Structure 1
Amino acid sequence: MPLLNKTRARSEAQNPPFGRPGTAPGPGTAPSRSWSPARIALTAFFAVDGFLFAAWVVRIPDIRAQVSASHSALGLALLCISAGAVATMPLIGRLCVRSGSRPTTVGALVALSLAVLLPAHMHSVLGLGLVLLLFGAAYGAANVSMNSAAVDLVAELDRPVMPSFHAGYSLGGLLGAGVGGLLAGRLSTAWALGLSGLLGLLVTALAGTALLRSPATIRRPVPRTAGPDSTGPAAAADLRGPRTGSATGSRSAMPTRTAGVLVLLLGLVALCDAYGEGSLADWATLHLTDDVRASAGLAATGFAAYAFAMTAGRIAGTWLSIRLGQTRVVLYGGLTAGTGMLIAALASNVPVALAGFVLVGLGLSNIFPLAIAQAGAIGGPRGVATASTLGYAGMLIGPPVIGFLADATSLPIALTTVAATSALTGLLAVAVRARRTRERTAPA
């Protein structure tokens, strides 16, 4: 018992559980390993995923006019994206366990590149909802499979680099929004989305070849009897985890019920974050055009400013997680995002609204990646799928809630709900930390 307690204490000191600050990568991590071909290829997948989603987002005003949708009708159509994603995610988690995360990632990105073509050819709200259901299914499949592959790579690299993958997603969103803004008024929606899908297929072919040819991470099995009374070698080995304080670590030898509660709490963190991200993605351009009276090109620039801020925050995410601890990163991020959303929603001119969106991007940047990384460390691909499903439920309820509230009050008032959910992420992160602290200090 004393030996196991010492092992557990040493593990927790070296591998902070959502998170104690001050853990730096150890000297044993070779710099040459940090950007392996697999990591570069997977980052490219995250980037093209963000690019394709942003290419769709900046065309929402055009497609709304094309199908003659009201705020509430458009909200119901946008609901189909999240509905398709949430319905697909648990299935993809099981598929990743059975067939591997990397092949599943390649197939999902091919489907997403094809699905992004469809909305431009719809002329009714019903037709738009049906194709967005397919788009959401492909989007959800891509996100679960990519994050599952990323969790494995984080464990292999032995460094907390999960935010860097999501920085690739944000960079792709920034490029997609920027290119979409430049093409607004110059190319039709069908041509713009068609070229975006073609680019997605090209990147998938190149990055997929590199990813599938790279050696796969060897996954350590999760002990079946890893309860509080576990004292065997398997339990002790599983408690050790990476030496460098990676964001994910190894899957803890904790009771199944405790693991399930932690994944649930992490899923709720992701839910609140995704509510904000989904609301910004679906309604930011409309808020700028309808309420702040920005032009279509300038409205696309607003989403680009949000995406740029999120990219910058995620690039710094690894450093911030080490220096501040993951709990503080999530707590401060939620408060920053909430403040920024209030500014952006209530702004009466474009510069102030853009400044608010920048704060939202910085605040939300690392919340989702840290939550998903922790869920993957605890439960593997199924943990990723569970937390992602709960997370994207935020996108499921976000569009219709914002739409109906906008019709009942106004779009700026509806967007203030994002401030509340952003602040809630910090409280949930503190709850995760408290739960893991209780588990850590419980008698072995």
Structure 2
Amino acid sequence: MPTLNKIRSALAGAKGRGSRTPAAPPPPDLRRFRAALTTFFALDGFIFAGWVVRIPAVKEQTGASASALGLALLGVSAGAVATMMLTGRLCARFGNQPVVLASGFLLPLSVALPPLTHSALALGLVLLVFGAAYGGMSVALNSAAVDLIAALRRPVMPGFHAAFSLGGMLGAGLGGLLAGHLSPTRHLLLLTLAGLAVAALAARPLLRYDLRPAPRTGHREGEAVPTGRARQLVAVLGLIALCTAYGEGALADWSALHLTDDLGASAGVAAAGYSVFAGAMTIGRLSGTTLVERLGPGRVLIAGGALGCAGMLLGSLAPSVWLALAGFVLTGLGLANVFPIAIGRAGDLAGPGGVAAASTFGYGGILLGPVAIGFLADWFSLTTAMLTVAVLAAFASLTAWASRHAVLPEKG
């Protein structure tokens, strides 16, 4: 079974012939591994979005009030956060690919459980299982991606997150079409069967290569980072990820309400608020690898935070719906690659444990964003509350700039 060190040596030899000589293409099996990993990223987004679009139907089935449903839905985030650090240790002990595969089968199995419940308490308990599978999948996937990036010597992390976004868009679209024809139980059971089939097909190429992590080095070739220092840098990267995730969570839950209540948009137009944001993030991530290779991760991260800040200033303060939507587009383009870069660099510094720690910070932002926006909207106004997304995006940009020499390499 080929190992990461052999792959790296072959690619390094190709690069060593001259700085202008293009690197040799990766071996065919490694390309298949990358395709399999991309498939699992897309499956992750597809399964999660398929569940999200059936939340209203499951709410009706369980008879839960809005507040009870909110508490039950916390099970997803609680399960994910509780599992992430454990997943990092499992990846370090058993390898990333076996954990990806285990999570890849558990996630579609667990999505069939929510429509089988008939109370908010039971729903919350099964969502803990679903969240645990989802959190484990996220950490294992990003850890495997970090090792593949080391083998390819290309910053392809944004492409994997683009696959997640595309999977989510496909899952939401298909779920919307099926919602009028199938019950939640049948829909999510079909999602389970499709997910298991995809995971089974992608299993063999995923396990084909033994991508054992290389020794973690600093941001310069051969410069070791002490464990304590690495933890500090991972914490900085996790804080940057949190700022980005805060914006994603806030826009997912509050963008439509901002457009309707503050700008008088119709329900149909307001629904486009998060859609244009998510679409812009997908486009930004598809171009992310090229941007990182040309500009370096530090510049992309700093500029992305600044663009996200400018976009949310426009989205929050715009006097018309269409200018607000334009602001959401700019925000999506700006924030698109901040989270992938932060998670990837955390993995480079500290392996699966770094990915787990930074991901936990990020999910903290997703939890914090919608709740903070709600309280601030009650105390001040929704417009003022939405401005916190711009403030945190600016903070992420400034943090990246201040720590660029310690945390981020100059070149991708």
TM-score band by shorter chain is: 0.7 to 0.9
Kindly indicate whether structure 1 or structure 2 has the higher relative contact order, using CA contacts under 8 Å at least 6 residues apart: 1
2-side partners of 1:93 and 1:378: how far apart?
A: 14
Give the partner amino acid of 2:49.
A
- Other-structure match for 2:95: 100
Alignment of 1:39-438 (within 5 A): 39-63=34-58, 67-70=63-66, 74-212=69-207, 214-222=208-216, 240=221, 252-284=223-255, 294-295=266-267, 302-345=273-316, 351-406=322-377, 413-436=384-407
**Aligned-residue offset at 1:217:** 2.1
Q: Deviation of residue 320 (structure 1)? A: 0.9
How many residue pairs end up in the alignment? 391
Instruction: State TM-score, norm by structure 2.
Output: 0.83
1:31 and 2:25 matched: yes
* Structure 1 vs Structure 2 CA RMSD: 3.3
Would you say the 8 A contact 2:112–2:185 is kept in 1?
Answer: yes
Instruction: Report deviation, 1:39.
Output: 0.2
Q: Deviations for 1:140-164, whole angstroms, at most 9, x for unmatched residues?
A: 1001000010011000111111111
For 1:385, the aligned partner's letter is A
Which sections of structure 2, spanning at least 5 residues, go unmatched?
1-11, 13-17
What residue ranges of structure 1 are gaps of 5+ in the alignment?
A: 1-13, 15-23, 227-237, 242-251
Question: Could you say what secondary structure the match of 1:254 adopts?
Answer: coil
Secondary structure, aligned partner of 2:397: helix
1:128 to 1:413, Cα distance in 2 relative to 1, 3 A: farther
Comparing 77-86 and 182-191, the one that deviates more: 182-191
Give the conservation status (yes or no) of the 8 Å contact 1:60–1:282: no
> How far does residue 271 in structure 1 lie from its aligned partner after superposition?
1.2
Judged with a 3 Å threshold, the aligned counterparts in structure 2 of structure 1 residues 319 and 126 are, in CA distance, closer, same or farther, namely same
Rate the CA distance shift 1:310–1:267 in 2: closer, same or farther, 3 A. Answer: same
Does the CA-based 8 Å contact 1:78-1:399 persist in structure 2?
no
SS at match of 2:23: coil
**Change in CA separation of 1:101 and 1:362 when aligned onto 2, cut-off 3 Å:** same
Deviation at 1:59, TM superposition (A): 3.6
1:152/1:25 Cα in 2 relative to 1: closer, same or farther (>3 Å)? Answer: farther
Residues 32, 374 of structure 1: alpha-carbon distance in 2 compared, 3 angstrom cutoff:
closer
Give the aligned residue type for 1:397: L
Cα distance in 1, alignment partners of residues 397 and 277 from structure 2:
20
Shift of 1:319: 1.2
Q: Displacement of 1:26 after TM fit?
A: 6.0
CA distance change for structure 1 residues 46 and 429 in 2, over 3 Å: closer, same or farther? same
**SS state at 1:27 partner:** coil
Shift of 1:167: 1.1
Query: In 1, distance between residues paired with 2:384 and 2:49?
Result: 24
Write the letter of the residue equivalent to 1:330.
Answer: L
